[in-house]
Each structure stands twice: as structure tokens, then as C-alpha cells.
Structure 1
Amino acid sequence: MNAVVAVENKKGERLELTKDPDYIIGQIDGLGPPTAQINTSKMVGYDGETFISSTAGSKPLDIYIYFQGDVEDSRIRLYKYIHSKEYLKVYYQNSHRDVYIEGYVQDIKIDHFADMQMAQVSLLCPDPYFKNIVEQIDGGSQIIDEFTFEFTCDEGESFEFGTMMEIPEIVALNRGEITNGITFRMRMNGIVTDPKIFNRATGESFGISYTFQAGDVVTISTRVGNKSVKLMRDAQEINIFNSIMPGSKWLQLDIGDNVFIFEAAAGQSFIELFIIHRDEYEGV
């Protein structure tokens, strides 16, 4: 096969299946988009049904691995990396995508008496989407650089070392196929009161009713199943979930360009905002 495939267990032990001479990947099922569940309602006296909602289910993934060389040794060595009921991360790279997907091993089927022994490793991936290997980070300082060294300055002349943005905004690009949750990280360089982040396109916002001090770092995760608001202060992590402003929305990253604007009741210029995300794909 033309793709590069590797697996990694919960201990971080990695097996490069397509680069190891003891293994050959025969087939992988489940590399396409996940199956959707469409919910509808039947209306009495009318033809057809009414659409209610749709969701993507978990993704089954089956990897067929043929043993080479010393078959007994290859099979036993595979057990070191892949354990039934345990976590497993599968890496997949082709000419267009370099991604991974996470799941749990449901079954490992092996015919010990076949002429060419093969292991069928079956996984269930609760999150059905493939994630880009590269994590994207957008944002940072509100100061725009205006010059680079080296320079000379005659008496009476002045230079702009930087320009503070009047409306602090960050553009985050989602090149994937899925609208997904993101991580906002705010670094406070002074006293900041009640910061709030807006999605310019939707008008939705997420705010925190809290007074922060210089050196504080706030991390907001809006991913489904992993929503959190945490403050790191003096090397201690504090859960400030209860400080979320009423009416706040868990902002998502839509496909394409996303513009986020932030403000604060006081100390807006002391905020450095970073947006961290991974592009996600239905299939490879």
C-alpha cells in the first residue's frame, strides 16, 4: 500500500506497521466517512416524515495485518503494542493527509493454523473523525511590529516601535471538513477584569466574570465531551468553570475563516489570546 500506517498504545509505545519487515498491511476498513444517524418524525395524515436532527456515530476501524519472517515472534511482538479493550492511536499518512484517529481495541482475531497468519485488529473510535497531526496556533500579541533592526535616529526624529490594534481580533482558518471545538488560551500581562471573546460572524460570545493578575494563564476548551475553563496561577491549576458569564456559548470553529474579537471590562490591552485547534476530516 502507498500509505504509511503506525499504531501507538496508551504507554506511548509506537509500532511502524508499514516500515517493519515483520508486518504487511493487507487492508484497512473504516477509512471513509462515518455512518450518520438521521432522526425523523412521522406526521399523521401527511406523506413522508419530518427531519429532526442528525448525528455521526462512532467509527469501527479494522486493520488486517499479515505476519512475516518468524511468524511466532511477529505475533507475540504485536501483542506488546495492541491489547484488547485498551486505547490505541492509529496514524495514517498518504500523499494528501497526515492524520490520526483514536479508539479502543474491541477484538484481535488470529487464525493460528492458516498458511499465512493474519491478525484482524478491530477498533471502535468514539470520535469518528481523523485529526491532523499538526496543531494550529493563531493569535498572540496585540502589538504589530513596525520596524526591524538595524537603524539610525537623528536628533528630533521618532520611530514607531509597534502599533496596538484598536479592535483586537484573530483570524483562525479551519482547513478541515468538520466544525469542531477549540482551545482558547489567554495570557494576562497585567490586571484584567471580565474578559470576553466574540465570534464576529455569529455574534456569540464566551465570557468569564473574574479579575486576573499579571502572569495568569486561562485555558478554555470548547470541545464536546471536554469542555473546561482552567486558570494557571503561581504553578497551581484552578477550576474556574463557575465563573462563566451567563449567556456564554461554547464557541466552535466553522469550516473556513473564523474571526474572533476579544474585550474586557478593564485591562484589554494586557491580554494575549491564542487559538489552538486541529483540522478534522471525515475520511482519508
Structure 2
Amino acid sequence: MENEKLTFTNSRGESLELGTESIFFCNISKDVGGIAGVTNVIYSTNSMGQHGDTYVGQRIEARDMDILGHINTRDKAQALQLRRQMLKILNPELGGTLTYEYGGFKRVINCRTFGEPKIERKSVLYEFSFQLECLNPFWREEDETKEDIASWVAAWHFPCVIDKDDSKSMIFGYRAESVIVDCYNEGDVSTGMRIRFTALGTVSNPILLNVDTEEFIQVNAVMQTGDVIEINTKYGSKGAKLIRDGKETDYFRYIDVDSTFMQLAIGDNNFRYDAAGGVNSLEVAIFYNKEFLGV
């Protein structure tokens, strides 16, 4: 029988596994609060003589999780050692991630320890309770999704037969023909992304355009062969950097003033790439996390 499991991993790589089969016993369905729903706040205005309010906007607040359980051993020395281990892992100075697993289903969320973890001796076992705060309230998949907007496609395969009278037999790779690619966001909410421009030759003023909204982001600079420019549009992490010969340089000042730090809407997002010069030497990729309201 498969059971739910939570694993907290701090920024030093130390992990705490919670579940019905763990020494840190926790019934996820009954003893954990805050993993499923989110709190939505609505902003509105009103004036004298108006019946009701006028909708202005909304936001989803940070997520709080309350976790209860007990250390599943009657050996006092072992219980005290596990208590010290638990307090070390839940160090409030360290950030971390919480991973939810049930069968083949897995989701991850960033979090920090909030308040005071309590581990107290009861009649038989040590019981614990602690709270995690997730400033970004959304769960995500473990790995980023990558979409290649402009790239070279490998065409070399085995067995390899080269016919001197057939020029196509000498093709080892070709340029992807489409300049418009649909990035489908399967998540529950819109999300930011990392845009990566890679120069295979000299490229000037690379641009990525959202065909649906006509928003764009453009870098007003000339890229040399091997240069990589990464732009992050996520809230709290917005910025741009150049990677040249392994050295990173802040490139925010080269972002065109009319650019928009675009978000991936729920569903279809059609993007087109271009450049003022050297567009055939440009590779473009988008990296993003699908984000979800609960598990």
C-alpha cells in the first residue's frame, strides 16, 4: 500500500522524512494543514451611495503549513538523539524545500521554518509540532520545463551511410524551421521564466516576442560567438546576466526600456524570436516551472 510522504530538505542538503513509515511519524492527511488550499485576498473600493463594492484586484497570500507528529521510538537515548537531529535540520537560518510524494506523484515547494519547533515528551513518546512558511505559495514540479524556441536539430544517426552522389546523406544537423513556438503552461497560475539567448556567431539585439499579447523583451547589445544571455522574469528574481568565457556580468542595463518581463499565462503562449543581425546564429530557450495551487 502506498502512503503519502513529506521530505523537508534544508539548504545544506540535510533531510527530514515524515510519513507513517518513518521514524518521524506523521499522518499527512490528518496531521498536516495548509498543503492543499491557498488564501485569496480580494481588493475593492466603495463610495457613498454605492451598494456593494467595486472589484480592484486580488492576490494569493503566502502559505503556512502546520505539521504534527511523534518520534516513533520508546528508546529515550535514541529519541533524544533524533530530537537534536530534527532541531538541527529545522534550523530557522536556513531555507529549504518541502517535497510531497504519493506513488509516482511528486511536487516541491520552497519554504522556511517559522516560529518555534516544539518537541515535548508525552506519556510514552516525544511529540513534535512545527510550522513552515512558503512565501511563494505555489507547488511546482521537481524539474524545470525547457522549450527550445530556436535551435539546431541533430540529424546524424547510426548506421551512417554516406552517398557521394546524395548531398542529403552528408547532413549532420539542421536549423529548426519554425520561428514561432507554443509554450503550453499546464500549471494552475501564470509563472515567470528564464529566457536564454545563445550566440553561435555574432548576433545583435536579440528579441523574444509574445505573438498573442505583442509584449516583448529585447537586449540592446552585440553578442559574440559563445555568449549566453539569461533573463529572469520571475517575481523577486528579475534580472539579466551575460555569461562570457565562464564569467558572469550583470546585463540589466542593456534591456530595452520598452521591454516587458513577460509571464507565461495559463495555457498557450506563442513566442517568436528575432534579431537585428545574425538571427541564424541565435539559439533561444525558455525554462519555467509549472506551478500549482495545491496537492
Task: Spell out the pairing of 1:112-151 with structure 2 (5 A cutoff).
Answer: 112-139=121-148, 141-144=150-153, 148-149=157-158, 150-151=160-161
The answer to whether residue 27 in structure 2 is matched with residue 28 in structure 1 is no
CA 144–11 in structure 1, closer or farther in 2 if over 3 Å, else same: closer
Please give the secondary structure, in 2, of the residue aligned with 1:242.
helix
Partners of 1:39 and 1:238 lie apart in 2 by 40
Q: What percent identity do the matched residue pairs reach?
A: 25
Q: Is the 8 A contact 1:68 1:74 kept in 2?
A: no
Q: Where in structure 2 are there 5+ consecutive unaligned residues?
A: none
Please give the secondary structure, in 2, of the residue aligned with 1:75.
helix
Which stretches of structure 1, 4 residues or more, deviate above 4 A after TM superposition?
Answer: 144-149
Q: Is the 8 A contact 1:130 1:280 kept in 2?
A: yes
C-alpha displacement at 1:144, in angstroms? 4.6
The answer to whether residue 91 in structure 2 is matched with residue 83 in structure 1 is yes
Moved more, 92-101 or 163-172: 163-172
Partners of 2:155 and 2:22 lie apart in 1 by 55
Residue number among 236, 257, 261 corresponding to 2:272 in the alignment: 261
Q: Is the 8 A contact 1:142 1:168 kept in 2?
A: no
RMSD over aligned Cα, in angstroms?
2.1
The answer to whether residue 260 in structure 2 is matched with residue 249 in structure 1 is yes
Q: Which has the higher strand share?
A: 1
Match of 1:104 in 2: 112
Task: Spell out the pairing of 1:1-284 with structure 2 (5 A cutoff).
Answer: 2-18=3-19, 21-26=22-27, 27-69=31-73, 70=75, 71-84=79-92, 86-95=94-103, 97-106=105-114, 107-139=116-148, 141-144=150-153, 148-149=157-158, 150-153=160-163, 155=165, 157-159=166-168, 161=171, 163-165=174-176, 167-284=178-295
C-alpha displacement at 1:95, in angstroms? 4.1
Moved more, 165-174 or 248-257: 165-174
CA 6–154 in structure 1, closer or farther in 2 if over 3 Å, else same: same
TM-score of the superposition, structure 2-length normalised? Answer: 0.88
Q: Where in structure 1 are there 5+ consecutive unaligned residues?
A: none
Moved more, 255-264 or 168-177: 168-177
Please give the secondary structure, in 1, of the residue aligned with 2:19.
coil
Partners of 1:37 and 1:210 lie apart in 2 by 41
Q: Is the 8 A contact 1:142 1:269 kept in 2?
A: no
TM-score of the superposition, structure 1-length normalised? Answer: 0.91
C-alpha displacement at 1:200, in angstroms? 1.4
Deviation per residue, 1:96-115 (Å, 9 max, x gap) = 73111112211212333443
AA aligned to 1:133 is E
